[in-house]
Amino acid sequence: MSTTNVERVLFERPQSLVALPFPYCPGCSHGIINRLVAEVVDSLGISERVVGVTSIGCSVRCWKHFTYDMVQAAHGRAPAVATGLRRVMPDRIIFTYQGDGDLAAIGTAEALHSAARGERITIFFVNNAIYGATGGQMAPTTLLGQKTSSSPYGRDPVAAGFPIRVAELLATLPAPGYIARVGVFDAANVNRARRAVQRAFEVQMEGKGFSLVEFLASCPTNLKMDPVKANEWVQKELQQYFPLGQFKSPEE
């Protein structure tokens, strides 16, 4: 009696992800999010048309992990660079990849105005509630009472204001086509996040304007927690202030 060995591939590197180990700390969400972007680019078959723009922070390191064209902008300026690329290359699919210090502090104007113009670009916004690359200072998304290296007694709203809900803020504008907030803290949410990344690219490709996906993310190093505890903190604490959901879609 003969037996047939059927090989099933359960897990493999996306084609548009370079065969290099990620440089991020153990438990950092950037690796998962980089991978999701690469998976969706592969499944949509758009790797020849995609251009990514990074700016500054741990987020910038993704540029050498994607096989497609990547451009590096100054801190916070990725949406402005993406706008320039859009104007000269109308057939390309353009995304930015930005942290919360980058997008919601130094780069607030660029993100807000590209959304207000309905610029046909996609922003992947990684909200880990802290400045990762520079040693864990307070970000615009740091929770009230959260201790950081620049708020050692916890964020005080009188001195530092309230955390900014970027997805909800940009969803008040008429022009954006798609805005969602997702988590990557468990398998079910990673799958939902993948669908959001895909929808964001599709909205751009269908000519329906600006799209943004905000990811609730974990920075165990600066939260000073192990990866499991940091993930739980994102799921329990961060998610409470930043609810997951779709805030804008072309179907509305």
Q: Residue 83: which of 56, 123, 48, 44 has the closest Cα?
A: 123
**Nearer to ligand TPP (CB atom), residue 61 or residue 208:** 61
Distance of CA 17 to the CA centre of its chain: 16
Contact 79, 36 (CB under 8 A): no
Within 111-150, the residues that bind ligand TPP by CB under 6 A are 126, 128, 131-134, 139
Question: Would you count residue 221 as binding ligand SF4 (CB under 6 A)?
Answer: yes
Both tokens of 193, joined, read 């996040």
- Residue 28 engages ligand TPP in binding (rule: CB under 6 A): no
Q: How many CB atoms lie within 10 A of CB 113?
A: 14
Per rule CB under 6 A, is residue 75 in the interface with ligand TPP?
Answer: yes
Nearest to 210 by CA among 176, 167, 182: 176
Among ligand TPP, ligand SF4, none, residue 24 binds (CB under 5-8 Å by kind) = ligand SF4
Give the shortest CB-125-to-ligand TPP separation in angstroms.
10
Q: Which stretch binds ligand TPP (CB under 6 A): 14-22, 100-108, 198-206, 232-240?
A: 100-108
Instruction: Write the burial class of residue 24 (CB in 10 Å: 0-12 exposed, 13-18 middle, 19+ buried).
Output: buried
How far is C-alpha 8 from the geometric centre of its chain's CA atoms? 31
Residues of the shown chain interacting with ligand TPP in the complex, contacts defined by CB under 6 A: 56-59, 75, 99-102, 106, 126, 128, 131-134, 139, 219
Residues of the shown chain interacting with ligand SF4 in the complex, contacts defined by CB under 6 A: 24-25, 28, 30, 58, 128, 132-133, 219-222
